[in-house]
Amino acid sequence: MTDTARIAQALDAAASRLEQLEREKREPIAVVGMACRFPGAANPEQFWHLLDSGTDAVTEIPAQRWDIDEYYHPDPDQAGMMYTRHGAFLDDVRGFDAPLFRISPREAASMDPQQRILLEVTWEALERAGMNPRSLEDSSTSVHIGATTHDYTQLLLANADQTPLDTYYATGNAPNALAGRLSYFLGLRGPALAIDTACSSSLVALHLACQSLRTGESNLAITGGVNLLLSPQLQAAICRAKMLSISGRCRTFSAAADGYVRGEGCGVVVLKRFTDATRDGDRILAVIRGSAVNQDGASAGFTVPHGPSQQELIRSALDASGVEAGDVSYLEAHGTGTPLGDPIEVNAATGVYAQDRDRARPLIMGSVKTNIGHLEAAAGIAGLIKVVLALQARTIPAHLHCAEPTPDIPWAKLPIEIPDRSITWDASPDRLVAAISSFGASGTNAHVIVEETPDVPEVPSDEVSEGADHVLLLSADSPQALQDLLRAYRRHLGHDPNLPLADLCYTAAIGRAHLSHRCAITGSSVAALQERLSTYLGGGTGPGIFAGQVKGTGRFDRSVDQPMDGAAIGRAFVKGMPLDWQRLFPRRQPVVLPTYPFQHLPYWVGSPGPTRPRSDITDMLYHCTWDRVGAPQPASTFVDEPCHWLVVGDVPGQITQELEGPGQTHSVIDCRTAEMDGSIRDTVRHALADVPPSLPVRILFFSGIDEIPSGPEHADALPRDVLGACQLLVDLIQSANTIPRSPTTRIWTITRGACHTDARQPPSTPHQLARAGLWGLGRTFATEHPEFFGGLIDLAPGGSAEEVRDLVCCISWDRDQLALRGDQAFVPTVQPAKGDVLAGDAFPQIEADATYLVSGGMGALGLRLAAWLIDRGARHLVLVSRRGETPAVKHEMRRLRAAGARVRTPRADVADYEQMATVIRTIQQDGPALRGVFHLAGVLDDRTVTGLDREALTRVIHPKAAGAWNLHLLTRDLDLDHFVLFSSLAAMVGPAGQANYAAANAFLDALAHARQAMRLPALAVNWGPWAGAGMAGTLEPDHLATVKRSGVEPMVARHALAAMEQILTENVAQVVVAQVDWRQVLAGDRPTFLRQWSQHLVDDTASELEDQDASHGLEASTDLQELLGGSADALEVGLTRFVQRLLAGILQIDSAQTIDPDRPLDEYGMDSLTGTELKNRIATRLGIELPLSGLIGGVTVASVVLMVQARLPIQAPPGGAEPSEGSETVEMVL
């Protein structure tokens, strides 16, 4: 070859290389997955609904962030204050699924919530890309995250006096950890960068991620941004700079623009080179053609935008993408809504995009900030996700709050359109192309060109046998998460019955992590899978259903080269057997499926861990039972003691004969025959006027004793009887309390059939039911006046010849609450419900084609319940309230409806029979059929018994009692699945000041028992207080503090609803759900009835409570020396408990007993830092040095115990004798 030829060949090679480099430089980047949490939207589908419906997600600053009333001041120059009350916020920034990400409660509480939310949203983005998040280990995957605020650091520092900064403060709050944490957890080997260029951070991160892919530095990129508003300090500083909107809205391009509204959120996208994505058959959502980043330089001010720089930026992005300016038909503007910035941006954009543009095809401009506020560092990624969704829908959503465009922009001269409604996006000329701008306050700008997915050849799918059984593999990190996941799949398959079966099963198997709790379902159709999912969720089993928990990797007893049917794959999967999943699941097209149901628990500054782990929800559940105590026995000293008996009410005829004795007198006020002017008070005073003050008075109040035949049930009759009975007892107490009396004077209340002691007991009649409230009122009377309270006694519904004699014996008994049934007496007790309530994995029946009614539906508790019902599959709700839908609940209602539910909000008083009859009739006419009733309506008007009047009784009792009775009458002939009465723990414990409230709820309890006796569905839940919702949310701080000091802690709403989910599946009439420290409840001077009801709980749970104390870091009091004389097994058990307690204290796990001795400790969040602490504590407590290398990695409690045992010195036996061969007696140094 001649020199000329060689030169020519070299030139050709160089030219080819240059062309290749140019192609790589402009390689399109495919968006293959994305996920988000934005205000009013928890996922991309909800986000598109928000955009397409023109929804504004801005609200008043919620109390969970800070008290806006404390910081609000209309004067912008007021230091430390803020002149705006608005922002756009996420619903839950405290919750996190720490166990899934192998993070301990201790570390989670020190970790910036921005890290936590990034972990979860990234997991979702990978799943939506059809990628198993745990399959990326050691891959060349890069992470680029934009973030600029770190409010949690301020909270931690401000709280350092109460909660000193932890070891995890640095790693939990360093900006670099936002990206580094993702790479660490997923095991990624590509670059990991946290980018802070202020408001342009996430779009700059996207630009760098694309560069990393184009240069070959990475083969997959995870990029996004996050922004949370947690501290008022930065908000106040921005207000001082007068950047925020006084009107509380982003009015981009509007004449009324007055600044921006801050917002929070997180968005993550998964990127691949376009050629790789098409080769791999990925779902390509959109294509990033090119991008550019530059700087404003020396503009008019540090935060002032620079028009010429913005124009240069746009030209650079177009050049990098190979796209002509005229091809771009939509621009997602930075558009913060400032009078200065908006005109600069529009003029800069039109200086490029408007050149030679046909006015018939104007450039459409909009900004997502008008919907969700300015997400600051996450603003760019929010704009990108909006554009990708719009490209897929071929629709441009409305730009809000711009009724009158700003006069500072010459609109008439510019080929620009600002859409005031959602419009169809027409291709121009043959494809849809959009641009996105993001400008940083410090001058760094980014611009990205995005194109709709081009037509690409489909990657051939492997053939599958028609009609063959497919297997759906589902797994989660906990039993509850698995149940939630199964329920989500059942809903998804119901909404999309035409989903290709092979694609569905392929995506679930290949595109999801295989976690420890597993379920496999086989079927030859989507309908078959859905049916078997329903069977399993209902607690059933059968062919084609497999479930199990994996601890480590199992062995498979056949070659994976052999063919396997769906059942064999399912069995192998739930046993954890290692299989070649790619071979078993032929390649198909990935499809959108439900993402992982994260199990949120709150972790926050000052709170080292969740108040109650999911596994401890059973500790909140109790049954109310009646225990037999034998036949009543008289106490002669009591019967023979001189006294005066006052018998009041529905007096039994033979009672006075039983009250005759030496020195005993009696008087009778029979309310059925006595003529009383006004109330009973004067009659009582008159009857007791001649009784010497030194003589004890024993007052027997009989109510509802007569057997009255059941007749027509008038709606207002029973509620009137409830109030009448309670009023009569209150009048009796108040009148007796005003006259001089002996210190041993007592009042007993006697009812008939008001208490349901046995499943065989017939339903209470309305006449008997109306007296159930007396038991709640009587318990509060006992709390407020224990010296005046005699007791509560319930006679058998049918009566007996000996009951009056037995009654007098009961009066003399040292029992405050008794029920007579035949010749036997019963006492109420409260029992833990662990053993029977939580058996099985059944789910409450909540159907999409059914209607669920919630009374009190516009209250905080009603709205939480509504969201819970929708999350469980309900699609038709009727939220009844007297006020109807008000502006105060606008945001919550928007969220409920955005979730796909039809929510009706009729104004009606649940205590008004005719109004409720109209509501029920409308439901039955419009459909779907009513299948569930939840009665939440209630009010508080706290007063002592001696201060109660009829108005206060009616105000509290009527909504609950009349409302429940109306709902019973109107629905008893309907085929209901649920009839749930929200009662209160107050009915059982009688708190001081709440006699009316206790009475109202005691009636609800009795109604539930009566309905069950009628074979009708019913459940009364005696709730403890809920944190921030319901009645507890209305309590004054000092009252709430009193409740906490009494041993009752307000429940986190999520825990309470999780508990309800369990009990709805059980055939029980009444369950107590409360977070109670029984030792504290019974500490001090408590009424006798309460001790008799619950004392056994303190005795039975002493050892468990000791474990809880130790798990909170208290020094274990167990003397391990006691174990030395026992067996080797006893020693191992003692050491295991010892290590569990140490770990619970170190990791701040709420209960030491929840730590599985055989589960790797890194799954609880153990790392080198906490491993060092464990090493040091064992050395301090036992004098044993363990190697740090043995305490990290896959170590378990069991392996730590073995290491300790191997290093314990041998103890000489008593008397100095040498130990015998094989002796396992050891000496431990504490």
Structural domain ending residue among the three candidates 791, 816, 832: 832
**Chain centre to alpha carbon of residue 291:** 40
Q: Please report the pLDDT score of residue 1092 as a whole number.
A: 86
* Residue 283 scores a pLDDT above 90: yes
Burial classification of residue 562, based on how many CB atoms lie within 10 Å of its CB (0-12 exposed, 13-18 middle, 19 or more buried)? exposed
The answer to whether 526 and 602 have CB atoms below 8 angstroms apart is no
Q: Please report the pLDDT score of residue 987 as a whole number.
A: 94
- Note whether residue 1128 is domain-resident: yes
Catalytic residue check, 334: yes
Could you tell me the pLDDT band of residue 1076, with boundaries at 50, 70 and 90? confident
* Residue 1113 scores a pLDDT above 50: no
Query: 613 vs 851, which has greater pLDDT?
Result: 851
- Note whether residue 927 is domain-resident: yes
Amino acid residing at 577: M
Q: Please report the pLDDT score of residue 1039 as a whole number.
A: 52
Query: Strand, coil or helix: what is 1145?
Result: helix
Lowest mean pLDDT across 49-63, 196-210, 601-615: 601-615
Q: What is the CATH number of the domain that holds 764?
A: 3.40.50.11460
* Residue 1117 scores a pLDDT above 50: no
- Note whether residue 392 is domain-resident: yes
- Tell me phi and psi for residue 261, to 5 degrees: -115, 130
Mean pLDDT on 532-550: 91
- Note whether residue 127 is domain-resident: yes
Give yes or no: residues 1055 and 1117 share one domain. no
* 289-342 per-position pLDDT tens digit: 999 999 988 777 787 888 899 999 999 999 999 999 999 999 999 999 999 999
Q: What is the CATH number of the domain that holds 999?
A: 3.40.50.720
* Residue 1088 scores a pLDDT above 90: no
Structural domain ending residue among the three candidates 1081, 1115, 1139: 1081
Could you tell me the pLDDT band of residue 639, with boundaries at 50, 70 and 90? low
Give yes or no: residues 872 and 959 share one domain. yes
Give yes or no: residues 866 and 986 share one domain. yes
* Residue 1180 scores a pLDDT above 80: no
Could you tell me the pLDDT band of residue 688, with boundaries at 50, 70 and 90? confident
Give yes or no: residues 1021 and 1169 share one domain. no
* Residue 836 scores a pLDDT above 50: no
* Residue 212 scores a pLDDT above 60: yes
Could you tell me the pLDDT band of residue 805, with boundaries at 50, 70 and 90? confident
The answer to whether 221 and 126 have CB atoms below 8 angstroms apart is no
Listing from the earlier edge strand, what are the strands of the sheet with 517-523? 470-476, 517-523, 545-549
Torsion of Cα atoms, 738 then 741 then 744 then 745, to 10° = -60
* Residue 153 scores a pLDDT above 70: yes
Could you tell me the pLDDT band of residue 739, with boundaries at 50, 70 and 90? confident
> Chain-wide mean pLDDT for the chain?
86
List CB contacts of 10: < 8 A, sequence separation 6 or more: none
Give yes or no: residues 817 and 851 share one domain. no
Catalytic residue check, 266: no
Lowest mean pLDDT across 14-23, 206-215, 683-692, 997-1006: 14-23
Tokens representing 690? 């001649």
Q: Please report the pLDDT score of residue 722 as a whole number.
A: 94
Give yes or no: residues 544 and 475 share one domain. yes
Q: What's the domain range around 414?
A: 22-451
Lowest mean pLDDT across 286-290, 463-467, 483-487, 928-932: 463-467
Give yes or no: residues 285 and 232 share one domain. yes
| Catalytic entry in 86, 144, 199, 401 | 199
Residues 128 and 143: their CA atoms lie apart, in Å, by 17
Lowest mean pLDDT across 321-325, 581-585, 634-638, 702-706: 634-638
Q: Please report the pLDDT score of residue 189 as a whole number.
A: 96
| Catalytic entry in 334, 517, 623, 935 | 334
* 491-531 per-position pLDDT tens digit: 999 999 999 999 999 999 999 999 999 999 999 999 999 99
The answer to whether 314 and 352 have CB atoms below 8 angstroms apart is yes
User: E strands, 337-492, where?
Assistant: 363-366, 395-396, 416-417, 423-424, 433-439, 444-451, 470-476
Q: Please report the pLDDT score of residue 1215 as a whole number.
A: 37
Nearest CA to 433 out of 333, 325, 319, 335 is that of 325
The answer to whether 644 and 695 have CB atoms below 8 angstroms apart is yes
How is 8-45 classified by DSSP, letter by letter?
HHHHHHHHHHHHHHHHHHT--EEEEEEEEEBTTBSSHH
- Note whether residue 3 is domain-resident: no
Mean pLDDT on 1182-1207: 84
Mean pLDDT on 213-222: 97
Percent of the chain with pLDDT over 70: 88
Give yes or no: residues 269 and 290 share one domain. yes
Q: What is the CATH number of the domain that holds 298?
A: 3.40.47.10
Could you tell me the pLDDT band of residue 467, with boundaries at 50, 70 and 90? low
* Residue 1006 scores a pLDDT above 70: yes
Give yes or no: residues 816 and 849 share one domain. no
Mean pLDDT on 1198-1215: 70
Q: Please report the pLDDT score of residue 839 as a whole number.
A: 43
CB atoms within 10 A of CB 18: 10
- Note whether residue 300 is domain-resident: yes
Mean pLDDT on 750-776: 89
Query: 1066 vs 290, which has greater pLDDT?
Result: 290
For residue 397, cis peptide bond before it (omega within 30 degrees of 0): no
Number of domains in the chain: 5
Residues 173 and 610: their CA atoms lie apart, in Å, by 20
Residues 106 and 120: their CA atoms lie apart, in Å, by 18
Amino acid residing at 1017: P
Mean pLDDT on 522-550: 92
Could you tell me the pLDDT band of residue 419, with boundaries at 50, 70 and 90? very high
- Note whether residue 1221 is domain-resident: no
Nearest CA to 147 out of 187, 170, 124, 174 is that of 174
Catalytic residue check, 199: yes
Residues 989 and 201: their CA atoms lie apart, in Å, by 56
Instruction: Report CA Rg, the chain.
Output: 35
Structural domain ending residue among the three candidates 832, 847, 877: 832
- Note whether residue 462 is domain-resident: no
Tokens representing 596? 């992982």
Give yes or no: residues 1074 and 1170 share one domain. no
Tokens representing 861? 């508790």
* Residue 658 scores a pLDDT above 60: yes
Lowest mean pLDDT across 384-398, 578-592, 794-808: 794-808
Give yes or no: residues 526 and 634 share one domain. no
Could you tell me the pLDDT band of residue 180, with boundaries at 50, 70 and 90? very high
Give yes or no: residues 873 and 773 share one domain. no
* Residue 855 scores a pLDDT above 60: yes
Residues 468 and 454: their CA atoms lie apart, in Å, by 34
Mean pLDDT on 428-444: 90
Q: What is the CATH number of the domain that holds 504?
A: 3.30.70.3290
| Catalytic entry in 306, 374, 644, 1009 | 374
Q: pTM of the predicted model, to two decimals?
A: 0.64
* Residue for token pair 């029946």: 845
* 1130-1171 per-position pLDDT tens digit: 778 888 888 998 898 888 887 787 898 988 988 888 888 788
